[in-house]
Amino acid sequence: MIRIALADDHKMFAKGIASLLEENDDFRIEGIFSNGLELIKFLESNEVDVVLTDMNMPFLDGAGVIESVKRLIPNSKVIVLSMYDEEEIFLKCKKLGADAYVLKNADSDELIYTIKEVNEGTHIMSFQKVLQQNIEDGYSDFYKEKFKLSKRELQLVRMIKQGMTNKGIAENLHLSIHTVESHRKKVHSKLKVSSVAELVKKAIELGI
Amino acid sequence: MQNDGSDLFIIILLGFFLMVVMVSFIVIMVIYHRQRQIKNQQKVREIQAEYEKTILNVEKELREDILAYVGRELHDNVGQLLSLAKMYLSSPKLEKVSEGKGMINEIIHEVRALSKSLNLDWVEAISLEDFIQKELKKLETAEFCKVAFHQSGQTLQLEKDKKLVLLRIIQECLNNAVKHAFPKLIEISVDSDSARSVIRVRDDGKGFEYNGQSSGSGIYNLKNRMATIGGEMVLKSAPGKGTEIKLILPNQNP
């Protein structure tokens, strides 16, 4: 179970994200706050694994939240949920010690994966990956509907089909090898295959 | 007899001289008067130009403020709602999808309201009281501070230009409070009788040293603007004691 606290001054957004995350059995939302100060006050007497924070907030902004969390409870991880796809802001967060940077217009899958990776300590921070979150792949909906394949799993299948190794895929998607391996396992079970050869055959059949 | 001739000559000469003096006096008076008239006209024109310039500036600033507001709303509100709606719409759960559709509906309303605010025509239609309440509401929704509005007496009747200037001055007062004062409460009261209207903007924020002399161009500008529409601005502030601004406007139809 990953315990999460969340701060965003757009209340509806904060509640919306919380309710999306709560659909997932691995997450438990411990608190929703509309500014950084309230969040930090809460963290002084409550323990969480992952903190999700917005950048622009009154009283204490995202940068302040990263700093405070890293100073007060260095064991907790911080994920920035931001509207800005600017490298400067990304780098600033990274420098302050943020563990991940997710755009608000990313897929909810992307956010869920990132929280899990950050919690495991396998997340790799890369601005290229942030920019990829902006790109919407129109085909993904169909596969998502039919085989419950996430956008990332779909990318993975395509890369395996092209003959890429785990290492190559990891570099291409800015993921750790560990993450790629666990995605592969999930794809195998979702598509009911047990080897790479079967997977490629199935992918060709399905037109992935 | 010879003497008579020279006397007559002197009289004529004197008379002529007197006439020249009188004529030149009249001419000088006329020229002097004309010049004063021209100067006066110029002054009137200058005041008129100053007034028009103020109105133009005020309109420009209102526009800029609205643009900044719309930009901020698009980024902070509409953008976030859209991101959220996108996530909801791609959820496998049907109820989340329908919530997403609800959000799209809300976004449509927000965008419609924003596009309406871009057109300055609303200034003509809105009453000062409504405007003040709207501005206060913005601060309240942004959770900047608590707000309060009081009104006593009759509603204000203002011509468009005066209203425009007054709206802008109130907006500036609020902007100053937001930027510098960090108050817990902002209070505005409108008090109007047949002789004059008084708008009081009060905050319980930081306050500053003020001895009646304008420290910056900001307050000077506001006072100037108030003067162009025939009113007066009185500011009271002290460190730790908040700020109170009184805008006093005499009513033209008693």
Report pLDDT digits (tens) over A41-92: 898 888 899 999 999 888 888 888 898 888 888 888 999 999 888 888 899 8
- Cβ atoms within 10 Å, residue B253: 5
* Cα→Cα distances A164→A126, A154, A178, A187, A196, Å: 21, 14, 16, 16, 11
- Which position has the higher pLDDT, B22 or B192? B22
Q: Which residues of B touch A (CB under 8 A)?
A: 75-77, 79-84, 86-88, 90-93, 96, 103, 142-144
Q: Which residue of B has its CA nearest to A58?
A: B144
pTM listed for this prediction: 0.69
User: Among all residues of chain B, which has the CA nearest to that of A138?
Assistant: B90
Average pLDDT over every residue of B112-138: 85
Q: What is the mean pLDDT of residues B123-129?
A: 84
Mean pLDDT, residues B156-183: 86
* pLDDT tens column, A12-26: 889 889 988 888 888
Does A17 contact chain B (CB < 8 Å)? yes
Of A152, A112, A80, nearest to B91 by C-alpha is A112
pLDDT number for residue B2:
57
Which of A11, A20, A24, A141 to mutate to probe the B interface, most B CBs <10 Å? A20
Buried b (16+ CB within 10 A) or exposed e, B26-54: eeeeeeeeeeeeeeeeeeeeeeeeeeeeb
Q: What is the pLDDT of residue B216?
A: 67
A138 to chain B, closest Cα gap in Å: 12
What pLDDT sits at residue A107? 81
CB contact under 8 A, B91 and A108: yes
pLDDT, mean of residues A152-158 = 84
Which burial class, exposed, middle or buried, applies to B201 when counting CB atoms under 10 A from its CB (0-12, 13-18, 19+)? buried
A108–B87 C-beta distance less than 8 A: yes
Q: Which of A12, A52, A55 to mutate to test the interface with B (most CBs of B within 10 A)?
A: A12
Q: What is residue A80's predicted lDDT score, i.e. its pLDDT?
A: 93
Chain A CB contacts of B75 under 8 Å are: 83
In Å, how far are A30, B18, B20, B91 from B24, measured between CA atoms?
Answer: 98, 10, 6, 98
List chain B residues with CB under 8 Å of A134. none
Distance between CA B41 and CA B28 in Å, rounded?
Answer: 20
* Res. B142: pLDDT tops 80: no
Interface contact flag, A104 B80, Cβ < 8 Å? yes
**ipTM of this model?**
0.76
| A182-193: average pLDDT | 83
Q: Which of B84, B103, B179 to mutate to test the interface with A (most CBs of A within 10 A)?
A: B84
Higher pLDDT, B213 or A175: A175
> What is the Cα–Cα distance from B61 to B172, expressed in whole angstroms?
10
Give CA torsion, residues B223, B226, B230, B235, to 10 deg. -60
- A56–B88 C-beta distance less than 8 A: no
Confidence label for A140 from pLDDT (cuts 50, 70 and 90) = low
Q: What is the pLDDT of residue A52?
A: 92
Distance from CA of B114 to the nearest CA of A (A): 18
Contact yes or no for A105 and B92 at CB 8 A: no
pLDDT at B12 over 80: yes
| Overall size of chain A counted in residues | 208
> What pLDDT shows up at residue A115?
92
What confidence tier does B254 reach under pLDDT thresholds 50, 70, 90? very low
